[in-house]
Amino acid sequence: MSISIHNLTKVYGSQKAIDSLSFDIPKGQIVGFLGPNGAGKSTTMKILTGYLEATSGTASVNGFDVQKEDMQAKNSIGYLPEHNPLYLEMYVKEFLEFAGSLYKMKGAALKNRVAEIIEQVGLSRESHKKIGQLSKGYRQRVGLAQALIHDPEVLILDEPTTGLDPNQLAEIRALIKEVGKDKTVILSTHIMQEVESICERAIIINLGKIVADKSIKELKSAGQSMEEVFRELTGKHNEANNA
């Protein structure tokens, strides 16, 4: 399994942000991780990426326990955090070289990899600019490039298309689909259309618990739209059904 979570729980004070979550994602699958605001999506993703420690339960990525074998697990993961924090004063190439150096890449191998990834995510024409000069869509490409720099097996994308205009949205979705061809991807989103266009499976959580874990086809088998399925399972409208 590329991602394996078993009885994962995170407690903040007296509140359970996630409550005994369990799921497995096999290699190569693209999975939508859905839920209303506050459901526990970011918490789960932060535990998977090693940014946060679970209160109990286990999580492994590419066979490595995220707590006990954190370095190997981290090397298997590319992570695009929510709001894509980037160094706006850095040049695109400089930033990606920095990102690669964090994985001990250096010299010609690093330069070649940066050139390759710039090409792959469609940043060639913008690669001489500072990140702060780029549009939001291009910044997301930089975020994806940094997530992919070490050619990880697993990609974890936290709301990768939030705030993009319709054109940028379509482009970033296509890019995720393309790079996801030979990777395992888990992505959180509020946009049901996005789940239908990119993902084969959806895990829906509400109040820290899984309320559905099925293929998109199965979820929609009663003839409902994904918006209707989401509303029925969570009792909430998804926040961004305008895209």
Compute the least distance from the CB of residue 15 to ligand ADP, in Å. Answer: 6
Minimum Å gap between C-beta 155 and ligand ADP is 17
Tell me the per-residue interface mask from 6 to 25 with ligand ADP, x by CB under 6 A, - otherwise: ------x----x--------
Which stretch in 41-49, 60-68, 95-103, 145-153 sits in contact with ligand ADP by CB under 6 A? 41-49
> Could you tell me if 97 and 106 are in contact, meaning their C-beta atoms sit under 8 angstroms apart?
no
Counting contacts by CB under 6 A, is residue 156 touching ligand ADP?
Answer: no
- Determine if 80 is a binding residue for ligand ADP (CB under 6 A): no
Q: How far apart are CA 141 and CA 221, in angstroms?
A: 34
CA distance 205 to 20: 11
190 forms part of the interface with ligand ADP (CB under 6 A): no
35 binds ligand ADP (CB under 6 A): yes
| Distance, CA of 139 to CA of 144 (rounded, Å) | 9
Shortest Å distance, C-beta 34 to ligand ADP: 9
- Which backbone phi and psi does 171 adopt, to 5 degrees? -70, -45
Residue with tokens 């190997």: 72
Residue 124 contacts residue 115 (beta carbons within 8 Å): no
Which C-beta is closer to ligand ADP: that of 90 or that of 207?
Answer: 207
β-strand partners of 16: 11
Residue type at position 94: E
Binds ligand ADP by CB under 6 A, chosen from 38, 63, 132, 235: 38
Which residues contact ligand ADP by CB under 6 A? 12, 17, 35, 37-43
